[in-house]
Amino acid sequence: MNLSELVTAERIVVPLEAPGLPAAAWMLVERLRTTGAVTDPEKLRNRVAEARGEDIVALGDRAFLTHYRTDAVDALAVAIGIARDPIAREVRDAEPQHARIVLLILSPPRMAARYLQVLGAFARLFSTPEAVEQLLACGTADEIAALPLLRDAQIAPQLAVREIMTERPRTARPETLLRDAARDLVRAGIGGLPVVEADGRLIGMLSEREIMRHMLSSSAFLGGGAQRHTTAPELERRTVRDVMTRQVLCVSPDQPLSEVASLMANKDVDRVPVVREGRLVGFLTRGDIVRKLIGS
């Protein structure tokens, strides 16, 4: 399947005239509604109004990718708009972002696999300067729909977890002192460490959440600041095993990436260990998935 099968002339808005990105996205929503793609407009309106940060991907000054998973549609639908002048997106505590291309993808939750494949295909397309130049040079919807680059842009087959997971991730041993493991976590700039036995068997997770709970319950701070508290010897000897969580959501390296991404979103989990026969073989984070989607 290629992108020309999704980008039809009736769902292309040229020129896209809107004062900002929210208005531009609503124009594309309306175009999909008038072409019969939206089955529940009110539900869609409520979903878009949530304005989640992950609903928009900005690809430099080239394009905005707006995407929503919602029961307001029965099938995946795409609309695209090309503006004469750059459309602005206001960003809190940062300079506004600008782009002339705005893409809208609506997908029912059950089509998570196809949704990720299409989003990734458009992200790769808009990362190519030549493709962006051709889109911006078009003056009509028919010209855009007929572009060979859309026909040539293939939607990649379904990815598996093993294709983007981090192999041989940083880990912690259960007998390691909590203070040492916490320092390792902070210095590495990561949010969590799988806890494994000597044979590689996964037995738990140590994350910032468990460390903070321990600090709050015991007043045991990591040290180095003016507010350091004196801790009892038994707290100084606390190990990773004492604090780690044993209820760990694990995934298989052979699971479809789309399935795992949906699971992580529904469970509000940022990272998952990847295991085979109980032993750790990799680690997957939301950041890994996003970087794969945008092709960086």
- The architecture that CATH gives domain 163-294 is Roll (3.10)
Residues 6 or more apart in contact with residue 220 via CB below 8 angstroms: 214, 229, 231, 235, 238
CA 144 to chain CA centroid, Å, is: 28
Q: Name the CATH topology of 3-154.
A: Mannitol-specific EII; Chain A (3.40.930)
Entry field: residues in the chain? 296
- How far is it, in rounded angstroms, from Cα 292 to Cα 296? 6
Buried (b) or exposed (e) across 148-171, using 16+ Cβ within 10 A?
A: ebbeebebeeebbbbebbeeebeb
How many other CB atoms are there within 10 angstroms of residue 1's CB atom?
13
pTM over 0.85, yes/no: no
Residue by residue, pLDDT tens for the chain (296 residues) are 899 999 999 999 999 999 999 999 999 999 999 999 999 999 998 888 887 777 888 888 999 999 998 999 999 999 999 999 999 998 887 899 999 999 999 999 878 778 878 888 898 899 899 999 999 999 999 999 999 999 999 887 777 898 889 998 999 999 999 989 988 888 888 889 999 999 999 999 999 888 888 777 665 444 544 444 445 555 578 899 999 999 999 999 989 887 888 888 788 888 999 999 999 999 999 888 877 765 54
According to CATH, where is 3.10.580.10 located in the chain? 163-294
pLDDT value of residue 256: 86
- How far is it, in rounded angstroms, from Cα 195 to Cα 273? 10
According to CATH, where is 3.40.930.10 located in the chain? 3-154
pLDDT value of residue 234: 56
